[in-house]
A and B are shown apart, each in its own frame.
Chain A
Amino acid sequence: DAKTTQPPSMDCAEGRAANLPCNHSTISGNEYVYWYRQIHSQGPQYIIHGLKNNETNEMASLIITEDRKSSTLILPHATLRDTAVYYCIVRVASNFGNEKLTFGTGTRLTIIP
């Protein structure tokens, strides 16, 4: 699986959009970009995933650049409950037997009141 690079920490004002970048310059054509978050020491929570098109769900939007070498997770109206560590993960889509999630160090997002 491709390696990802994320800033170690970010702050965002409550109510503003939080934009979390992820670099995955060695991503392959069959690899998806996944985002999970971990609030305090709770179990990681799935947020969103995508292959090449931008994706949106009730939690967030995922913007993937055309060359797929980087992506941005957008939390449109951040609340204090969004304070968490956010993990960007790249996973191979077709390699059966390799379904594990490989977590990096993630970005610690702090929402400021």
Chain B
Amino acid sequence: DSGVTQTPKHLITATGQRVTLRCSPRSGDLSVYWYQQSLDQGLQFLIQYYNGEERAKGNILERFSAQQFPDLHSELNLSSLELGDSALYFCASSVLGVPTETQYFGPGTRLLVL
């Protein structure tokens, strides 16, 4: 158990809908990362937050957005969902968000768009 929690574990929805994925980082970690794992693209970095502020952005679609709240939990919002958005979404956290730190991953949310 990494100490990172993600909810829900599974999510089934329809095209065009909007969903919110939630992540609680390990106690004391200030930085949160979101990754997407699909069959054809592998594990890809989406976005990073540090203490409530966006720190780095990867190949995150404009239909996707995220935020980190004052209690440090983070939410990833996916809107106008398409079939290709079906994937595993992982959240990771680290203490300060610097490159040499270990990132600890949550169990993921499996999203299925029908």
Contact = CB atoms under 8 A, between A and B. Distances in A.
Q: Do chains A and B interact in one complex? A: yes
Interface of A: 32, 38, 41-46, 49, 87, 91-105
Given A43-B2, A91-B99, A100 B42 contact: no
Closest 3 CB pairs of A and B: A43-B105, A100-B45, A103-B43
Given A97-B55, A100-B48, A43 B97 contact: no
A99 B110 contact: no
B contact residues, range: 20 to 34
B98 interface: yes
Given A97-B56, A100-B58, A101-B45, A45 B105 contact: yes
Interface of B: 2, 4, 31, 33, 35, 37, 42-45, 48, 55-56, 58, 88, 90, 92, 94, 97-108, 110
B107 A46 contact: no
Contacts, number: 69
Given A102-B45, A103-B43, A43 B107 contact: yes
A10 B88 CA distance: 25
Contact of B98 (A42, A43, A99): A99
Given A97-B55, A97-B56, A99-B31, A49 B103 contact: no
Given A100-B45, A103-B44, 6 more contacts: A41-B37, A42-B107, A46-B102, A97-B55, A99-B31, A102-B45
